[in-house]
Amino acid sequence: MNSTQVAVDLAKSVFQVAVSSTPGRIDEQHRLSRAGFGRFFAAHEPVEVLMEACGSAHHWGRELTALGHTVSLLPPADVRRYRNGDKTDRADTKAILEAARNEAIDPVPVKTLDQQAIAALHRLRSGYLATRTARINCVRGLLREFGVAIPVGARHLAPRARAAIDDGTVPEPALLDASPRPSLVSRYGMSTPENSMRIRGLTTMRPSITSGGSTPYVVMSSGTSPVIRTPAPAGVSEMGNLTV
């Protein structure tokens, strides 16, 4: 591999590519489609490819590594400090090249497919948690306007809300008096058990991703909420914990 560095500003459709064979100087600039991007690097001799660790970076990191290139993913927050002027594709590639010269910046390791799958499950689970929490809080707020206070804990929402509607504490408008009647709970709050099932399903699904000598996943308890810990493979920092 030669000393040439190629900075890439990733996008959905059009990629900005800057080629530098001398530190501080850009020799070529290209705007490439997705198909052209692949052809460009397939035909190029092995180089060091620099990208921000943003959306699709790990995918392209794996693809370019398979073509024989060396890939370095730089943290976007570190690259941002080297951008001058407006945020444009050309300015981004120049900032990436400048940031790569700073030895104090640690590149982000390219995730394997298994690591990417685990990270995807973390994000899905976080989304379900956020949706469940938002709906629970909304229903709690609505019920407080009728003088109904529900204790902390998702498990209390559905039975307390049903009881408040059944005993007439919370009247349902005539507009909703249909058959079957779509109550406040069935309309909005009762989706929380469904989200909880999805969360539990993602939690139990993760161990099936491991194979061979992979480290098993550990589920630890913290009070009444299970804490899901994903052990990091060698050389990769821990992806973090999520709490139900």
**pLDDT at res. 18:** 96
Phi and psi at residue 140, to the nearest 5° = -60, -45
Say if CB 55 and CB 15 are below 8 A apart. Answer: no
**pLDDT at res. 161:** 84
Q: Indicate the length of the chain as a whole number.
A: 244
Say if CB 96 and CB 7 are below 8 A apart. Answer: yes
The parts of the chain modelled with pLDDT lower than 50 are 174-182, 189-190, 206-228, 232-244
DSSP assignment of 168-206: TSSPPPGGG--SS---HIIIIITHHHHHHHHHHHHHHHG
**pLDDT at res. 233:** 46
Q: Which CATH number describes the domain made up of 5-100?
A: 3.30.420.40
Predicted TM-score of the model (pTM): 0.67
Tens digit of each residue's pLDDT (9 = 90 or more) over 60-89 = 999 999 999 999 999 999 999 999 888 899
Euclidean distance between CA atoms 100 and 107, whole angstroms: 9
Helix (H, G, I), strand (E, B) or coil at 228: strand
**pLDDT at res. 132:** 86
Chain position carrying tokens 């909880």: 196
**pLDDT at res. 225:** 44
Spatial CA neighbour of 231 closest among 202, 209, 200, 198: 209
Both structure tokens of 74: 């730089």
Both structure tokens of 77: 């927050």
Spatial CA neighbour of 127 closest among 188, 74, 199: 199
Tens digit of each residue's pLDDT (9 = 90 or more) over 107-141 = 999 999 999 999 888 999 899 889 888 988 988 88
Chain position carrying tokens 């900032």: 95
Say if CB 133 and CB 123 are below 8 A apart. Answer: no
- What are the extents of the domains in the chain? 5-100, 113-212
